[in-house]
Structure 1
Amino acid sequence: MLNRILFLCTGNYYRSRYAEELFNHLAKLEGLTWRAFSRGAAERGSPDNVGPMSVFARDGLHEKGIVPEGATRDPLPCSLADFEAAALVIAVKEAEHRPLIERRFPTAAARVTYWHVDDVEFAHPSIALAMIDEHVRELVTNLQAEQGPS
């Protein structure tokens, strides 16, 4: 049985999509029994988002030789069922996402772990994606230790 991780950002377009794809790639390589999915904490994404996935996320993944499995799916807003389907929930920016999550999902808010990765208007993608890389690799290492040898 697979354990599931839910990654959240505001619109499920850039940071959460990148984290999802990177995690799933690394989890497969390491034989983890975990898979990630991602959603947006906001009820709808920004009208400025063009296409199903941010070019920054797509390019960052391609630079690592990762072909995003969900590159053609449109961003999805989070529902309470998404929280229920996840063993672990991570929102990528506490200051930005905690208020959204506490307002929309007060019964699930205590389950969320927060990172501190800024969106593109506050951090260049090379910085933000490197931070997500570090967080995801640390997460994979921790889950490997919990899971033990395959």
Structure 2
Amino acid sequence: MKKILFLCTGNYYRSRYAEEIFNHMARSEGLSWRAFSRGAAERGSPDNIGPMSRFALEALQAQAIVPDGATRAPMPCVLTDFHAARLVIALKEAEHRPLIERRFPEFATKVTYWNVDDIEFAPPSIALAMIDIQVRELIAALD
């Protein structure tokens, strides 16, 4: 099974949603790929309540997707995560490239960067729809 690593800042909202939506679509397509997600920051925000953003959970529920990782706590990225993944995607280049360059400089140029804004800059209806589109395009390009 080939692995994709999705990164956002705290592994609470965007990367978790991307992981779940990718895995749902990949299973439906019979692909030999699975996603996992982590946070590019060393620790998540103390403002995050629960293991996963309610906006991500609600968007998945609206599509009748039961998230496999709904009860998993957010996890910061470690070096072995990069080694485990065949492809690494960070959800917002301007936000995540500096974190990756500081923490994992040897991998910063190997990451694919998308441009999905966090909740302070884009409402979930826009940001999560962008992830849906990006994931569909990604799946179409795999295997």
TM range (shorter): over 0.9
Which stretches of structure 1, 4 residues or longer, exceed 6 Å deviation after superposition? none
User: What is the rounded CA distance, in whole Å, between the counterparts of 1:23 and 1:118 in structure 2?
Assistant: 18
Residue identity in the other structure for 2:13: Y
User: What is the rounded CA distance, in whole Å, between the counterparts of 1:29 and 1:76 in structure 2?
Assistant: 26
Aligned: 1:47 with 2:43: no
User: What is the rounded CA distance, in whole Å, between the counterparts of 1:109 and 1:96 in structure 2?
Assistant: 13
Alignment of 1:58-97 (within 5 A): 58-97=57-96
SS of the counterpart of 1:108? Answer: helix
- How much is the aligned-residue C-alpha RMSD, in angstroms? 0.4
User: What is the rounded CA distance, in whole Å, between the counterparts of 1:48 and 1:37 in structure 2?
Assistant: 23
String of CA shifts for 1:15-65, please: whole Å, max 9, x gaps. 000000000000000000000000000000000000000000000100011
Aligned: 1:4 with 2:3: yes
Residue identity in the other structure for 2:55: F
The Cα of 1:100 is off from its aligned counterpart by 0.2
2:14 maps to 15
**What TM-score do the two structures reach when normalised by structure 1?**
0.95
User: What is the rounded CA distance, in whole Å, between the counterparts of 2:108 and 2:31 in structure 1?
Assistant: 26
**What TM-score do the two structures reach when normalised by structure 2?**
0.99
Residues paired across the two proteins, number: 143
User: What is the rounded CA distance, in whole Å, between the counterparts of 1:90 and 1:128 in structure 2?
Assistant: 15
The Cα of 1:129 is off from its aligned counterpart by 0.3
The Cα of 1:111 is off from its aligned counterpart by 1.0
Residue identity in the other structure for 1:21: E
- Decide which moves more: 108-117 or 10-19: 108-117
The Cα of 1:74 is off from its aligned counterpart by 0.1
Aligned: 1:140 with 2:139: yes
SS of the counterpart of 2:6? Answer: strand
Aligned: 1:29 with 2:13: no
